[in-house]
A and B are shown apart, each in its own frame.
Chain A
Amino acid sequence: MKLPTNQLICLILILANFFSYLGAKELHRERSLYRNVIVTEKNKIRCMRFETRRKKISNQACINLKKPNKLVFEYTQSILAGLAYNPLPKNILIIGLGGGVLPQAFEKILPSAIITSVEIDPAVVSIAKKYFNYKENDRVKTSTQDGRVFVKRALRKKLSYDWIILDAFNGDYIPEHLLTVEFLQEVKNLLSDGGILSANTFSSSELYNYESVTYQAVFNQLHILHSPTKGNRIIFACNCKNFKIPSESTKKLAYQLESYGVELDYLVARISTEIDWDESVKPLTDQHSPANLLSR
């Protein structure tokens, strides 16, 4: 009898994957002010997750212990596509630290950039340091506070950033006060001339429309990168008149990003300016932002 080898291998791989998923070992569990934060590990992939009652597990951050440079999540790879627009941002602001995967990548890729991360939950900061190799120094800084408060304060101090990355999530979705026209306007004001914004989103249903028009209301032109296989959508926008992401990047940058698992040219080619949402809905504002209710 001839065995269908390919299918058999496939099946074994699928099963192995399935069981490995079930058997992730819990390394650490911490009750923070906001939630339970859990660190798990399996097959040298270490992840941070917020405990929720939902069945679907959603990890906040993962690292590959065997290949520490490689970015495990598609969405973090996708965010790096922003480098095609500006390969040398000097000041970077990240709202939502997670495991500190992005600041660590930026520290290595951009030798002179100053990277500030804002995280509301002190437990997340200490877990990032202890389990995800996140280290602070003159170029890598952390501020433990609410992202909105940081942005408002930074505006009053007349700070500005070349790249702002919005990646703040609670157990449900993006906190409501970080998904309004007023907040995004504050973020835009904090961008330097020609500065770029990258926001990680994964809304579906009704919220998708509201979220999109909210970004549109502030930035006009959006460039969207849907993750190749996951449900994430990265929104790119800029503080400039005509926003164009070059379709071809330099060979050097593409080569440099390969070790992070980022296929830059492939990702950049996926970026689209197509509007696939209902533009007739009203943008979310501080006065009206039932974001979490709309996502049901």
Chain B
Amino acid sequence: MKKPVILSLAFCAGFSIMCFELLGGRLLAPYFGSSVYVWGSIITVFMLALSIGYLSGGRYSMQKPNLFKYGGIFILSALSLMPTIFFSESIMGWVFDRIEDPRYGSLTASLFLFFLPTAIMGMIAPYSVRLLTQSKDSVGQTAGYLYFISTLGSAIGTIITSFYLVLWLEINQIFWLIFAMMFIAGLLANVAAMREKNEITN
């Protein structure tokens, strides 16, 4: 029970990260254009956020890891999307007024808009590895399999967003979709955690 839940949740996290990143370009274009450096800023911030996320996710997994906390990361990441959904216009306008150079403008706006949610989503991968690991011998295989699933989620998130979602939905509607996905994933983790607890106590 536990393993498929964790794997499908990690898939959702991978999906959301790339879906979010792709929308980043769309979100910034009205203020900073679609020059090469705008994508440069977005990718820099995402990579930076993920690196910090991996680090803190790994650290967090040292403190009595369980499915409740795991679900908590998902719910927190969903909530951290709120400022981007509600205040992106005013944040970008604020940066636009203060920074003339569109390179540093787009970098600063990316930091405000994308860093926190992406860092929290980045915590999920190492935490998943910790929850899935059963023995020292198989830890490499577990990590490999987990990265396979979550990166596959990223690939599918990228293609679905860029090929279809932007055609069918508005950007904010897609943000709400990511929010719903991460929030429900978090609730599912909690349900699984409660079941596990019941099994142990029974």
Contact = CB atoms under 8 A, between A and B. Distances in A.
Nearest to B169: A288
Contacts of B169: 288
A145 B33 contact: yes
B97 A120 contact: no
A293 interface: yes
A166 B44 CA distance: 32
B102 A152 contact: no
- Max chain B Cβ within 10 angstroms of own Cβ: one of A33, A177, A289, A294: A177
Contacts of A34: 36
B30 interface: yes
Interface in B155-182: 163, 166-167, 169-172
Contacts of B97: 156
Contacts of B166: 288, 290, 293
Nearest to B165: A290
B35 interface: yes
Nearest to A294: B167
Interface in A140-162: 145-149, 152-153, 156
Nearest to A150: B33
B171 A177 contact: no
A290 B167 contact: yes
Contact of B170 (A33, A156, A182, A288): A288
B96 interface: yes
Nearest to B167: A290
A252 B71 CA distance: 76
B29 A182 contact: no
Contacts of A209: none
B36 A148 contact: no
B172 A177 contact: no
A146 B34 contact: yes
A146 B106 CA distance: 13
Contact of B30 (A183, A290, A293): A183
Contact of B29 (A145, A156, A176): A176
A285 B170 contact: yes
A280 B179 CA distance: 31
Interface in A111-145: 120, 145
B32 interface: yes
A177 B170 contact: no
- Max chain B Cβ within 10 angstroms of own Cβ: one of A152, A156, A175: A152
B30 A175 contact: no
B31 interface: yes
Given A285-B170, A290-B166, A177 B29 contact: yes
A289 B171 CA distance: 9
A155 B62 CA distance: 53
Contacts of A177: 29-30, 33-34
Contacts of A145: 33, 35, 102
A30 interface: no
A120 B172 CA distance: 28
A288 B171 CA distance: 7
Given A34-B36, A120-B35, A290-B166, A148 B29 contact: yes
Interface in B125-172: 163, 166-167, 169-172
Nearest to B96: A152
B102 A175 contact: no
Contact of B172 (A176, A287, A290): A287
B170 A146 contact: no
- Max chain B Cβ within 10 angstroms of own Cβ: one of A180, A289, A290: A290
A107 interface: no
Contacts of A26: none
A289 B170 CA distance: 8
Contacts of B163: 293
Given A152-B96, A287-B172, A290-B166, A146 B36 contact: no
A150 to B, nearest CB: 9
A279 interface: no
Interface of B: 26, 29-36, 96-97, 100, 102, 163, 166-167, 169-172
Interface of A: 33-34, 120, 145-149, 152-153, 156, 175-177, 180, 182-183, 285-290, 293-294
11 contacts: A146-B33, A148-B30, A152-B30, A152-B31, A152-B96, A156-B97, A177-B33, A180-B30, A183-B30, A286-B26, A288-B170
Q: 10 closest Cβ contacts across the A-B interface?
A: A146-B33, A177-B29, A287-B170, A290-B167, A149-B33, A288-B170, A287-B171, A286-B30, A33-B36, A293-B167
